[in-house]
Amino acid sequence: MEGHYYKPKCKCPKDAKKCTCGATWYYIGDVGIDPKTGKRVQSKKGGFKTKKDAQAAFAKLRTQIDDGNYVKESNTTFEEFSEEWLEYYKNTGKKRPKDGTIRIRKNEIGHLKKFFAKLKLKNITLRQYQKALNDLKEHGKGKDKKGQDKGGLSYPTLEGIHVTARMIFKRAVELGLIKNDPSQYAYIPKNESQSVDELEVEEEEIKYLEKEELSLFLQTAREHGLDKDYIVFLTLAYTGMRIGELLALKWKDIDFNENVVSIYKTLYNPNNNIVQYKLVPPKTPTSKRKISVDEIVLEELKKHKAKQNALKMEHRSEWHDKDFVFTKEKNYWGYPEITKTAERRMERLLKRAGLNTELTPHSLRHTHTSLLAEAGVSLPEIMERLGHKDDEITTQIYMHTTKTMKKEASRKFSELMKSL
């Protein structure tokens, strides 16, 4: 069929020489054979101002078919296809992605769904996609409890979202669901040149405790903490471990004779379901490490172990005996503690101590970095202790000297000048 051209919505009389109602032209024609039924498949499209425009469009379509470049775009929504793509992503490639990586991809898809969830893939344009990236840069963090805008996402976060989008749309093109990838020519918006004041504010976003604040926090944990609060936060502060690494720690990982802790796994429990935890390899290959631990921490760990052994004997019939150091102590005996509990406990103690309640267990890792820098430990040594090969935040904290170091530098300079 070469194509049929008509104006189905024309309201003009049939004998009228010229259309005056503004109706548009349509084409309908064969585009192939359905392999399942053997019946012909037709394409229909309208909105053309003239019959010649409709004929030209159908001729272009026929050329695409003859050249093997024709794609019948799908009505699949972004939400539907992103879920399908995630399953494909989980199960393809030479090396299956880790659970943590999959969780990050899910989070990145979540940001994209805010803009495209119910839109058909074929209807998403470059302009819409670019606008979404721009909006995420300005307002991607959402709003706080008071309804205030918390600001935009960082460049690395936007980069991750864009990479995920590129993979999704590229796969949709490969499957013939869309003709064009709307993310192909998009760019990740960057901050314009910043003033000194803006840079100072940006630096303050990396939150950690000064040494006097850390001392107050740990004292508060010792005196007012619940069950194992003190030993949990003391260990985090003195080792710089990630909270997931701490919660995955087993007694066999601690060498009390050599004062060393081995770190080679992390707790994966994104839904905070106590019994459905996983132990997975750490974030990066360099995260597998052995670190020296201070006697103060080891002595508190020994006290903690003695208390845990007493509880274990009392509840031995129901104890989840997997050798975890930090376990639930009310119900679910022996199961590893969850991150949410540590976060909630820390917020409680920070509030009691009059400190910044926006700090998290991960802030103690940043605190450890800053105090190591103040103590004169080199950046490579800090990186090795933290299990980093290269990390922008760690470097930034290292370069940003603490208040104490700034005062000391100023004092030394002043004394030097006075001696002249």
Question: Both 59 and 90 in a single domain?
Answer: no
- Regarding predicted confidence, which is higher, 86 or 68? 86
Question: Both 226 and 315 in a single domain?
Answer: yes
Position 412 in a domain:
no
For residue 337, what is the DSSP state?
Answer: P
> Cα–Cα distance between 55 and 220 in angstroms, integer?
80
CA–centroid distance for 394 within its chain: 18
Does position 356 have pLDDT exceeding 70, yes or no?
Answer: yes
Position 197 in a domain:
no
Give yes or no for a contact between 248 and 282, defined as CB atoms under 8 angstroms apart: no
Q: CATH number for the domain including 111? A: 1.10.150.130
Position 196 in a domain:
no
Does position 201 have pLDDT exceeding 50, yes or no?
Answer: no
For 105-119, how does the pLDDT look when each residue is reduced to its tens digit (9 = 90+)? 999 999 999 999 999
Query: Which amino acid does the sequence have at 296?
Result: I
Question: What is the pLDDT, as a whole number, of residue 170?
Answer: 93
Position 299 in a domain:
yes
Q: What is the pTM of this model?
A: 0.58
Question: Both 380 and 302 in a single domain?
Answer: yes
Phi, psi values for residue 203, rounded to 5°: -65, -35
Question: Both 294 and 348 in a single domain?
Answer: yes
> Cα–Cα distance between 20 and 10 in angstroms, integer?
9
Residue 93 belongs to what domain range?
78-191
Per the prediction, the chain carries an average pLDDT of 86
Most confident of 4-18, 53-67, 262-276, 293-307: 293-307
> Cα–Cα distance between 54 and 39 in angstroms, integer?
24
In the predicted model, what is the mean pLDDT of residues 15-22?
84
Position 202 in a domain:
no
Question: Both 135 and 282 in a single domain?
Answer: no
Position 117 in a domain:
yes
Position 417 in a domain:
no
Coil/strand/helix, residue 89: helix
Question: Both 329 and 219 in a single domain?
Answer: yes
Question: Both 392 and 255 in a single domain?
Answer: yes
For 132-178, how does the pLDDT look when each residue is reduced to its tens digit (9 = 90+)? 999 999 998 888 777 888 888 888 889 999 999 999 999 998 888 88
CA atoms within 13 A on the CB side of 243: 18
Question: Both 220 and 183 in a single domain?
Answer: no
Identify the domain boundary among 13, 37, 67.
67
Of 122, 119, 105, residue with least CA distance to 181: 122
Domains contained in the chain, number:
3
Full strand arrangement of the beta sheet holding 25-33: 4-6, 25-33, 40-48
Question: Both 342 and 383 in a single domain?
Answer: yes
Phi, psi values for residue 2, rounded to 5°: -75, -20
- C-alpha pair distances (Å), 36 with each of 44, 126, 178: 21, 35, 22
**Token duo for residue 280:** 């997975």
Q: CATH number for the domain including 323? A: 1.10.443.10
Question: Both 299 and 383 in a single domain?
Answer: yes
**Token duo for residue 131:** 């606008």
